[in-house]
Amino acid sequence: MSDSQYLTPADFLAWKKVNDAMLLDDDERNQRAVDDAVIKFVMREIRRGAEFEDAGDFAARIRQASYGVHDHVRYTPSAVRRALRAIGWKPKRERAGEVPE
């Protein structure tokens, strides 16, 4: 491999500067997709008779089993928790009065 084919730190920094806005847009778009999926899941569980907190607990557990990329959406633990917290759900330990980590 010739020296001209190696990327340098300066090359990376230049690429990052140009692409930061696009990467941020991708992250925001992904979070909106996760929010949508989690909200629809919780709504479906509530329609089936679950209480809100139980539906959120179930969503957190079921999404945990399917972390990864599905239908071009990246499901991560933090993205799912962020979506649940945005609609008012709290983990069991917080509902029990324990201080969150």
Q: Is residue 56 part of a domain?
A: yes
pTM: 0.72
Q: Is residue 8 part of a domain?
A: no
pLDDT digits (tens, 9 = 90+) for 59-86: 888 765 667 887 888 888 889 999 999 9
Q: Is residue 69 part of a domain?
A: yes
Q: Is residue 12 part of a domain?
A: no
Could you give the dihedral angle defined by the CA atoms of residues 66, 70, 74 and 79, in that order, rounded to the nearest 10 degrees?
A: -50
Give the per-residue pLDDT at 64: 59
pLDDT digits (tens, 9 = 90+) for 43-56: 999 999 999 999 99
Give the residue numbers spanning the domain of 73: 20-91
The 3-state DSSP class for residue 48 equals: coil
CB burial readout 40-75, b (16+ within 10 A) else e: ebbeebeeeebeeeebbbebbeebeeeeeeeeebeb
Mean pLDDT across 86-97: 91
Q: Is residue 5 part of a domain?
A: no
- Return the residue matching tokens 């990467």: 23
Q: Is residue 4 part of a domain?
A: no
Q: Is residue 67 part of a domain?
A: yes
Mean pLDDT across 29-33: 93
Number of domains in the chain: 1
Q: Is residue 96 part of a domain?
A: no
